[in-house]
Structure 1
Amino acid sequence: MSSGQHPPSSPPSHSSSATPPQALAGLRVIELGQLIAGPFAGKTLADFGAEVIKVEPPSHEGGPGGDPLRQWRMCHKGTSVWWQVQSRNKKSVVLDLRTPEGRDTVARLIDEADVLIENFKPGTLEKWGLGYEALSARNPGLIMLRISGYGQTGPYRERPGFAVVAEAMGGMRHLNAEPGRVPVRAGVSLGDTLAGLHGAIGILLALQARHHSVSAEAPKGRGQVVDVALYEAVFNCMESLLPEYSAFGAVRQPAGSALPGIAPSNAYPCADGMVVIGGNGDSIFKRLMIAIGRDDLATDPELASNPGRVQRVAEIDAAIGAWTGTRAVAQVVDVLNAASVPVGRIYTAQDIAEDPHYQAREMLLGITSADGLTVQVPGIVPKLSATPGAITRRAPTLGEDTEAVLARIQPNKGA
């Protein structure tokens, strides 16, 4: 339970001394989850002022201990730079939940919390005596976010589930391919992030419901369980996939960079790269065709609305590609922006870091880690005018806040 030897966490360089009020100030969250989905929900709450206490395991059998994300991908002095994104604004407490002492201590932390976030396999917390029934008997106002691969009920509930599988089961992976090619992943763990966002939304809904259930027995109101399945978070974003099948028996197929049934919307080659163009609004399509010198298509009555354009999408894409293919990306972007046609080049990390709009929107913020490395991390989303989010703490070292947090909890109440 060491608190670590590093200096106290300090605000990053962008923070000002006059911090505006934050929407979730005073909300206490215990985060038991690891890696991505649960911690992403915790990060979202922490960005808006919630006190998020991350409970991490100690080192076992010579391992590093803590959330495995601390060692994922590119590291500086043994700590992932990703850690600075996922765990900013959080506190770290080391407890061994495999021991009775650790479980008793975390239960006492939860006694004084508003929210518990966990993403263990269903049934794990119950085996430890930390299921919702036991915890809510001690703390009736507790809201418990439970993220798992397949949810807390149903025939698949006990299966292990990662985002890569959830994206496949949720329908996304099948569509993410060129026709006839092997489906590919997006390159980031979208299933986890979508589940984390749904979890954060669920917590806020449960907090609102709690406000309406205040009673003498539950002075803070009644909490509830927020059950988020990774595959369902993906499936919830699949637009018309299911209704098209149920109504017409249509099984949507991959279409590469195009958006089937909506035209034109695609990626197009330029002389020095590629651009993405969304010309699928009726008036936008006309402006696009005029901009590329195809007034004949702009005035063609068959192309005046989306259904007609879908029937002739190959012809339209060929016309756009013929025009973009002889021009540089910068020229295409300038011409189409001037015509009010949605267009953009395909950004790399370098493009993002150098973009003036990202900078103007404060989406590139600096954090100096405990080991002295200054990195840029994504800014706060969404933007609130009166109670904006902020980064007030760097990501903690393992167990950095153990002593300070445990010193303030109530004496053991017993199980």
Structure 2
Amino acid sequence: MINDEKLTLLVEKIKEVLPKKESIPLHEPSFIGDEWKYVKDCIDTGWVSSVGKYVDLFEKKLADYIGVKRVVAVVNGTAALHIALKIIGVQEDDEVLMPSLTFVATANAAVYCGGVPHFVDVEERTLGLDPYKLNEYLHEIAIIKNNQCYNKITGRRIKVVVPMHTFGHPADIDPLLEVCERWKLIMVEDAAESLGSFYKNKHTGTFGKISAISFNGNKIITTGGGGAIITDDEDLADLAKHLTTTAKIPHSWEYVHDMVGYNYRMPNINAALGCAQLEQLPKFIKKKRELARKYKEALRDISGIRFFEEMHFSKSNYWLNTLILEKSFELKRDELLKALNESGIMSRPIWYPLHQLKMYKNNPKMDLSMTEKLSQQIINIPSSMGLWRGSNE
């Protein structure tokens, strides 16, 4: 039986945190800096496409902020992850370990390389890959041959593990790195959602050999579309830049290509938008963390609802604020979603687990009991920077 009183209380408590508007989206961009100035400069000078000063500037500023040697800006986060997996050596029939509880692009990027997504479980405390369960699983199904990891059941090589930092909350990276070392795996981080998030005072995306970030319109900063490959490996960065610019050999007028490349270049006009957004990133993170604090305070006395918080070893950008529905809560997820959305508060469930999608249902997978449990418990609530009702600072 639905407890209407508790439902009403929850909706009202969320409303207390939010501005008094008829409709509040889940996450929208905020343009409060020099976005128009930089974009107008592109238009005025005619440098709107794949060449221009803002691409180089955006890559440099982003590398400085994250703390890596190189950034390669591309058209979206999926393209960034595709190229990262490709140049790290994912080949036809290689298995790529990844959470089933992630956005579909994580799996798609592996398939673009001819790889096989192999789904592993997540842990409740971080929503990221469970390193301990993964290690036990590999003891059951994997073997080391010629200093490489192979699946004893399928016979395929297991090449890479891809942790994803869910909703901006860092996965527990150190034990995952130990698993990678033990099982001869390469880590490629899907940091699409975690720009501005830190694990043990080090930015996400800097632990793997190479990683990917997204700047889609709903991310913490946006370039309209857009993504980036990040790495400390200069050779990998040079190869990523070459492949994403159609593998064209530099020349003043000739068009000679030496590899099968991809037209994944970020246009200058998008990079201009990104430069302005990046200048606002510290302010955005401050606002989002304050919004998360307000949600936590507002919901603390409602039994059966847990506001998801960062772990002690991490600092999250709180990209999407998250509620966990616990067993004692009498409302069903879909009824809660209906109540929130009908109140003008756009809310959504987490992504459908990838191992349950028709194109991936026959892929290799471990026990995914936590994934399946969390997929029914998680709700995202409005998280835009502009929702913070503090000072104008």
Whether TM exceeds 0.5 here: the answer is: no
Name the TM tier (shorter chain): under 0.3
Say which one has the larger Rg. 1
Q: So what's the TM-score if we normalise by structure 2?
A: 0.26
TM-score normalised by L of structure 1: 0.25
